[in-house]
Chain A
Amino acid sequence: MTAISERQQRSYIGAIAAEARVNVELETEGMTLNIGPQHPATHGTLRIIAKLDGEQVVSAEPVMGYMHRGYEKLVEVRTFPQVTTLINRIDWLGNFANEVPFILAAEQLMEIEAPARAQYIRTIFFELSRQANLMLFLGDMGVQLGAITAVFYAFRDREHVLNLMESVTGGRFHPNFDRIGGLKDDLPKGWVEECKGAMVKVRRFCDEIEELLMGNEIFETRTRGIGVIPAEVALGYGLSGANLRASGVDWDLRRDNDYPLAWKDADFKVWTHPDGDSFARYWVRLQEVRESTKIVDQLIENIPAGPIMAKVPRIIKVPAGEAWVSTENPLGEMGYYVVSKGDLGPFRVKIRTASFNNISIVPWVMRGVYVPDVITILASLYFILGDIDR
C-alpha cells in the first residue's frame, strides 16, 4: 500500500496555488482547453474540460455520454438470448468477455450448468479476448507517448488472435458465441494447433514490445511517477483490474471468485506492482498478456470431450430471482445484476462496467499535472468509450 507520494503532494499544492493565481484579478486568465470529443488521444468520444494555468492542469472534468446507447433500457425489451448480441458491443475490443458474466448470471438463475467442454472453451475464448484487448493497449500507449511504430506491431500480432476467433465464431469483433447453457458451435478441426501457434506469436510480440517500449529510457521518464494512485483511493473509487493491481492490491476475480469456468484448472500467477503509477499499469498489463497465453496453453491441452450445450428448452424463460455475476474482464471488473421475473426477458439489468469507475478517478488524479501527463495517465488507465457510456 503506497502512501501518497511526495511528488503528488507537491503537484496537489501546485494545483491549489495555480488555481489561486488564476483567480487573481490582474493575472492572466487560465485557459480552458477542451480535450475531445474528437481527439487522437481519447479512445473514442471522451471529452475532458481541462482548466490550465500555462502547462499545468488546475482541474480536469470528463464529460461523457457522447456514446450513450441506453443499454439498460434496451435490454428490458429483449429476450435473454437477444441480450447477448447487444452486450457484445459494450467493450468492443475484449469482445467475448462481455457476454460471459451475463450468461453466467442467467444460468445461475436457471440453475443449469453448461457442460465441461463448453466451460473450457469459454475460458479459452475469454483469455483470447483479454489478449486481443490488452495487446492493443500495449501498442497504443506507445502512440499516445509518441512512439508511432509500436502500435503497428500490436495490430499485426493481434490479427493472429482475431483470426482464431473468426475461424470459430465468424466474427472478429462481435463473436456473439455464448449461449445460455453452452456455446453456439464446436471448435473446427485443426483449431487447437493454430491456437498453440498463435500463442507463441503473442508471446514473441510481448517480448518485442517489452524491449522496444518498456526498455526505452524516454518511456520510463514519461511514465514513472506519473499518476500515482494509492490503493485506498483506488478502492474507494472502484478502480478494478490491472489499475488496482498496479497499486498493489492482490485481487484477481479469476482466482478469488468461484466460477463454473475453467480457471480453477489452470495454474496462473496474479501480477501486482507496488508503485501505482503509469509505468506500473503498463507493466502489469504486459505480464497479464503473457500469463494469459500460459493459461490458454494449459487449457487447450485438456479440453474435455462431450456436448457443448446443456439441455435447455427452446424458448428460454429464466425463473424469477436476482443474480450478480462479475468477471475479471480485460478492462477490469465487469458485472451484471440481473433481475428476472420469470419472463422471456430480464426485468432490469444493471451493467457494471470497469471503465466507468476507472475514469471517475480522473478529476482526482489530474490535479496539478502537466498537459502531456494528462495523455499519459488517460492512456495508462485504459478505457473504452463503449464501456464508459454503455
Chain B
Amino acid sequence: MSRLSSAETTTEEQPAPLVDAARDEMVAALATQLGDAVVESHVAPGRDAWVRVDLSAWDTAARVCREQLGLTYFCYLSAIDWLPSPFGRSEDDSAPTVAPSTDQLDHGVAGGATRFQLLARLVSPTTHLGINLKCDLPDDGLTAPTWSRIFPGADWNEREICEMFGITFAGHPHLVNIYLPGDFEGHPLRKDFPLLSRMVKPWPGLVDVEPMPGEPDEDEEATEAGDEE
C-alpha cells in the first residue's frame, strides 16, 4: 500500500491515480450484499474505506461484514454530531458565530444528510483491511438497531453513545449510563451542550505560541505589545 504523499512529489507532477484494488473489492462486495442500503461510499487509496448505509440495514451491514467479508474484529462504535458548536468553533475563534441550522450541515467523508451519524469500524485480522461504516439518524427518531448480538463489544459502546448523544438502541439488553451518574441530565457530547468550564471562564486567547525549533522568538514581542492595555 503506498502513501498518497511523499516528500519528493512536486506540484507540477500529477501523481498517477492510485487504485486500491483490495479495498474497492471489499466495498463492492458489501454493496452487492446490501444492495440499495448502501447510500454512499468512499475509498481513499492506500488509507481507508468508508461506507454509509441506511438505518434500516445497520445491523444487517454488521452481520454481512462479519460473516461474509471476514471483518470479525470489532474496533469501535461511536457517533458524530455535525452541528457546528453554537459556542464557537474553537477556543481562539472569537468571531461571532452564525446561528447553526440543522438543514445546512457540512458533512464529511461519505456524505450525510442528518445531524447525527453513527460511526463504526470493523477490521479483518487476516487481511488487515478495515472499513468505516456510517449511518444517518433522523432527528425525530434517534434509535438504531443494536449491534450487541453480533459484536458483543458493542454493548458498552452503545451505552456510551446513549448517554453522550441521546441515541437509543433497540434490543440492547441493559441500556444504562456507563460513565455518568444515573441522574445526569443532558447529553454531553452534543454540540449544544456547553463545556461548563469555558462558560465560567472564557479562554483568554492566543497568549503565547511556542516558537518552532530554531526560529527566533518574535511572537513574544508581539503579545507583550498587545498585552499592555
A residues whose Cβ falls under 8 Å from a Cβ of B: 64-65, 68, 70, 72-74, 76-79, 81, 108, 111-113, 182, 184-186, 232-233, 235-238, 249, 251, 256-258, 260, 308-309, 312, 314-315, 320-324, 326, 333, 335, 337, 339, 341, 343-345, 347-348, 350, 352, 356-357, 360-361, 364, 389
Collect the chain A residues with CB atoms within 8 Å of residue B164's CB: 72
Known contacts A72-B189, A322-B109, A324-B132; A77 and B75 CB within 8 A of each other: no
Contact: A360 with B93, CB < 8 Å?
A: no
Q: Are B153 and A236 in contact (CB under 8 A)?
A: yes
Report yes or no: A314 in contact with B74, Cβ–Cβ below 8 A: no
In the bound complex, what is the Cα–Cα distance between A108 and B3 (angstroms)?
Answer: 10
CB-based nearest B residue for A346: B90
Interface centre among B81, B93, B156, B181 (most CB of A within 10 A): B156
B78 (CB) vs chain A CBs: closest residue: A350
Is there an interface contact between B85 and A258, defined as CB atoms closer than 8 Å? no
A236 touches B72 (CB 8 A): yes
For the complex formed, measure the closest distance between the CB of B226 and the CB atoms of chain A, giving whole angstroms.
15
B93 to chain A, nearest CB (A): 7
Given contacts A333-B75, A389-B179, contact A236 B128 (CB under 8 A): no
On whether the beta carbons of A348 and B81 are closer than 8 Å, the reply is yes
Instruction: Give which listed residue, A236, A257, A360, contacts B156 with CB less than 8 A.
Output: A360
Q: Are B189 and A73 in contact (CB under 8 A)?
A: yes
Q: Cβ of B90 and Cβ of A64 under 8 Å apart?
A: no
Chain A residues near B211 (CB-CB < 8 A): 314
Shortest Cβ distance from A313 into chain B, in angstroms? 9
**What is the number of contacts between chain A and chain B, taking CB atoms within 8 Å?**
139
Q: Which residues of A contact B130 (CB under 8 A)?
A: 324
**Known contacts A237-B74, A238-B75; is-contact A65 B180 (Cβ 8 Å):** yes
Extra pairs beyond A339-B108, A352-B76 (13, CB < 8 Å) = A73-B188, A78-B91, A81-B210, A314-B212, A321-B109, A322-B50, A322-B108, A326-B75, A337-B132, A352-B75, A356-B156, A361-B152, A361-B153
A324 to B123, CA, bound (A): 12
Query: Are B212 and A238 closer than 8 Å at their CB atoms?
Result: no
Contact yes or no, B152 A364, CB < 8 A: yes
Please classify how large the interface on chain B is, using the bins under 10, 10 to 19, 20 to 34, 35 or more: 35 or more
- B residues in contact (CB < 8 Å) with A: 1, 3-7, 46-48, 50, 72-76, 78, 80-81, 84-85, 88-93, 106, 108-109, 119, 121, 125, 128, 130, 132, 151-153, 155-156, 164, 177-181, 188-189, 195, 198, 203, 209-214, 219
Q: Which of A64, A72, A233 contacts B178 (CB 8 A)?
A: A64
The 6 tightest CB contacts between A and B, nearest first, are A345-B90, A65-B179, A238-B153, A237-B153, A68-B179, A238-B74
| Residue pair B92, A341 in contact (C-beta under 8 Å) | no
Q: Are B90 and A108 in contact (CB under 8 A)?
A: no
The answer to whether residues A236 and B74 also contact, given A70-B188, A337-B119, A350-B119 and a CB cut-off of 8 A, is yes
How far in angstroms is the closest Cβ of chain A from B207? 12
Please give, as numbers and ranges, the residues of chain A lying within 8 Å of B214 by CB-CB distance. 309
B92→A79 contact, CB < 8 A: yes
A281 shortest CB reach to chain B, Å: 18
Chain A residues with CB below 8 A from B80, complex form? 339, 348, 350
A315 near B125 (CB under 8 angstroms)?
Answer: no
CB distance from B227 to the nearest CB of A (A): 18
What are 29 residue pairs bridging A and B, where the CB atoms are less than 8 Å apart in the complex? A65-B179, A72-B189, A77-B198, A79-B91, A79-B92, A81-B210, A108-B47, A113-B5, A185-B213, A232-B72, A233-B152, A235-B72, A236-B152, A238-B74, A258-B3, A260-B3, A323-B47, A324-B121, A324-B132, A326-B75, A333-B75, A341-B84, A341-B89, A347-B89, A350-B76, A350-B80, A352-B75, A352-B76, A357-B76
Residue of A76, A185, A322 ringed by the most chain B CB atoms within 10 A: A322
